[in-house]
């Protein structure tokens, strides 16, 4: 006689009767295309730009512009940019390679905590949060710590990760208990890791930059005016970094990059500032991107290639893009300490 008992599976793919005594830690970054071609970029941009946390006005007009113009023009152009930075060995975007490595290194760092399961996901694209949360639940995670990999909080990034986590949990009968790590924009460990990574990188160069520019991803000014604390967090990070490195605002500047669309975004704009500095006679410039926990299109292409080109075109001579904290020892220290702090009482 067949004695196997069918375990009920709910909508989220969770085996409801699996033994549940583990803690899941899910690292989440923004998302990136699966393939460096127009089709891959189109699928990714459609999901990303249809999120009301990112584009708040999901009006009929926006949907017409998105589907009629943006998704018919931008993917081809952006696919060429992705090709310039693509990890050809693994055939994937660097954001995925680095986030996977952060997850692997965090797993190693938490060795000894046998009941902790570490995994990673993308808010848009793959691996999806849905698939990874289902996998963790199937492994028996009854508690889940979601880690949005954004030092500075923004509704367009951190909040939408929470929205998606709660949406996924809303489909589960046996929900894990949820915790989310807070933003860490002024965490002394994070500021220290940034300072060490900047100093280490500058020490490896054959020139000394006259100015360091801290370039953060921008967002529409209107979002900040409505209460998004993002700009304040970027300012706090930069001020803490200035203090830690003994630099004033003229030596460690704050700018915002990656403007999208025609609205006013946070200023000063990175590309315009790079151009002006070069025209004003600055010859050696370093750019650091503290808001990105992993190198990606916005750092490897937009800063290290596009802005380097702008600088040189306008009279600059030496340009260096400082790598993100990525899976470096100081970078992993930040993530490990953040996670251990928020796991208190669970491990
Ligand atoms: C349209 C509005 C956008 C807002 C607001 C926004 C905020 C924001 N984004 C990041 C981090 C990343 N963004 C990345 C790419 C990217 N961002 C936007 C638009 C907005 N971002 C677009 C359309 C794109 C795709 C590329 C393009 O078409 O230009 C990435 C890189 C992903 C990769 O594949 O490598 C990251 C990371 C933050 C922190 C942020 C907060 C204000
Ligand atoms: Fe973005
Ligand atoms: Fe960009």
Per-residue pLDDT tens for 187-223? 999 999 999 999 999 999 999 999 999 999 999 999 9
Determine, yes or no, domain membership for 239. yes
Of ligand 1's listed atoms, the one at least distance from the Cα of 294 is 37
Give the strand pairing for 211-217 and 177-180: unpaired
Residues near 38 by beta carbon (within 8 Å), at least 6 away in sequence: 75, 76, 79
Are 80 and 118 within one domain?
yes
The reply to whether ligand 1 has any atom less than 6 angstroms from the CB of 30 is yes
Question: Which residue CA neighbors atom 6 of ligand 1 most closely?
Answer: 219
For the chain, how many structural domains are there in total? Answer: 2
Q: What is the CA radius of gyration of the chain?
A: 21
- Tell whether 326 is covered by a domain: no
The CATH number covering residue 137 comes to 3.40.50.1400
Q: At what angle do helices 160-169 and 129-138 cross, to 10 degrees?
A: 50
Q: Do 195 and 309 belong together in one domain?
A: yes
Ligand 1 pocket check: which of 298, 303, 304, 306 to mutate, most ligand atoms within 8 Å of Cβ?
Answer: 298
Same-domain status, 298 and 198: yes
Question: Which of 35, 158, 258 to mutate to test ligand 1, by most ligand atoms within 8 A of the CB atom?
Answer: 258
Q: Is 102 in the pocket of ligand 1 (CB under 6 A)?
A: no
97/237 same-domain check: no
Does 56 carry a binding-site annotation?
no
Element (H or E) spanning 221, and its range?
helix 221-225
Do residues 24 and 117 make contact, with C-beta atoms less than 8 angstroms apart? yes
Residues 96 and 199 in one domain: no
Region of 122 on the Ramachandran plot (φ > 0 left; ψ -120 to 50 alpha; else beta) = beta
Residue 290, both tokens: 């503290």
Could you tell me if 231 and 312 lie in one domain? yes
Q: Are residues 174 and 253 in the same domain?
A: no
Beta strands in the chain (DSSP E): 22-31, 116-124, 141-148, 177-180, 211-217, 252-257, 284-288, 318-321
Instruction: Give the DSSP letter string of 134-181.
Output: HHHHHTTEEEEEEEE--SS--IIIIIHHHHHHHHHHTT-SSPPEEEEP
Q: Is 298 annotated as a binding residue?
A: yes
Whether 168 is in a domain gets the answer: yes
The verdict on 202 and 139 lying in the same domain is no
State which ligand 1 atom lies nearest to the alpha carbon of 297. 35
Q: Please work out whether the CB of residue 233 comes within 6 Å of at least one atom of ligand 1.
A: no
pLDDT of residue 14: 54
Domain shared by 84 and 40, yes or no: yes
Distance 113 CA to ligand 1 centre (A): 35
Cα distances (angstroms) measured from residue 113 to each of 117, 180, 207, 347: 9, 19, 45, 7
> Closest ligand to 256 CA?
1
- What range defines the domain where residue 223 resides? 188-321
Within-domain flag for 13:
no
Burial 125-164 (b: 16+ CB within 10 A, else e): bbbbbbebbbbbbeebbbbbbbbbbbbbbbbbbbbbbbeb
Examine residue 9 and state whether it is found in any structural domain, yes or no: no
* Residue 65 shares a structural domain with residue 178: yes
Question: Can you tell me which residue has the tokens 């127009």?
Answer: 38
Q: For position 207, what pLDDT does the model report?
A: 98
| pTM for the full predicted model | 0.94
pLDDT of residue 289: 98
The pLDDT score that the predictor gives to residue 112 is: 87
Report residue 151 as tokens. Answer: 């030092």
The answer to the question of residue 14 being in a domain is no
CB of 157 shorter than 6 A to ligand 1: yes
Nearest partner of 306 among 281, 327, 289, 331, judged by Cα: 289
How do 177-180 and 116-124 pair as beta strands? unpaired
Ligand 1 closest atom vs CA 33: 34
Are 38 and 162 members of one domain? Answer: yes
What was the ipTM of the complex prediction? 0.96
Verify that 160 and 291 share a domain, yes or no.
no
Q: Is residue 8 part of a domain?
A: no
Ligand 1 center to 54 CA (angstroms): 9
The tens place of each residue's pLDDT in the chain, 347 residues long, gives 344 445 555 655 555 545 558 999 999 999 999 999 999 999 999 999 999 999 999 999 999 999 999 999 999 999 999 999 999 999 999 999 999 999 999 999 999 888 999 999 999 999 999 999 999 999 999 999 999 999 999 999 999 999 999 999 999 999 999 999 999 999 999 999 999 999 999 999 999 999 999 999 999 999 999 999 999 999 999 999 999 999 999 999 999 999 998 899 999 999 999 999 999 999 999 999 999 999 999 999 999 999 999 999 999 999 999 999 999 999 999 999 999 999 999 98
Domain assignment of residue 314, yes or no: yes
């Amino acid at each position: 006689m067949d004695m196997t008992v069918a375990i009920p599976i709910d909508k989220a793919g969770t085996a409801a009767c699996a033994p549940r005594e583990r803690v899941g830690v899910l690292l989440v970054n923004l998302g990136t295309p699966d393939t460096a071609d127009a089709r891959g970029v189109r699928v990714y941009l459609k999901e990303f730009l249809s999120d009301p946390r990112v584009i708040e006005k999901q009006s009929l007009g926006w949907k017409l512009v998105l589907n009629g113009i943006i998704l018919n023009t931008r993917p081809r152009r952006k696919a060429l940019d992705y090709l310039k930075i693509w990890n050809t060995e693994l055939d994937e975007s660097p954001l995925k390679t680095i986030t996977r490595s952060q997850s692997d290194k965090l797993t190693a760092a938490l060795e000894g905590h046998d009941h902790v399961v570490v995994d990673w996901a993308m808010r848009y694209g793959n691996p999806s949060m849905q698939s990874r949360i289902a996998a963790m639940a199937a492994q028996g995670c009854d508690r889940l710590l979601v880690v949005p990999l954004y030092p500075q909080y923004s509704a367009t990034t951190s909040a939408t990760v929470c929205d998606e986590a709660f949406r996924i949990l809303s489909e589960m009968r046996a929900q894990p208990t949820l915790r989310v790590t807070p933003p860490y924009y002024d965490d002394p460990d994070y500021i220290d890791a940034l300072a060490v990574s900047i100093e280490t990188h500058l020490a490896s160069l054959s020139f000394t930059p006259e100015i360091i520019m801290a370039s953060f991803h921008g967002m529409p000014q209107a979002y900040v005016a409505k209460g998004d604390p993002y700009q304040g967090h970027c300012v706090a990070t930069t001020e803490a970094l200035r203090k830690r490195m003994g630099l004033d605002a003229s030596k460690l500047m704050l700018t915002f990059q990656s403007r999208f669309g025609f609205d006013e975004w946070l200023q000063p704009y990175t590309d315009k500032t790079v151009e002006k500095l070069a025209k004003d006679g600055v010859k050696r410039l370093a750019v650091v991107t503290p808001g990105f926990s992993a190198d990606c299109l916005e750092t490897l292409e937009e800063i290290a290639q596009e802005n380097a080109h702008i600088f040189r075109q306008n009279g600059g001579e030496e340009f260096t893009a400082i790598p993100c904290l990525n899976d470096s020892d100081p970078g992993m220290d930040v993530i490990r300490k953040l996670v251990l702090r928020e796991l208190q009482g669970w491990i």
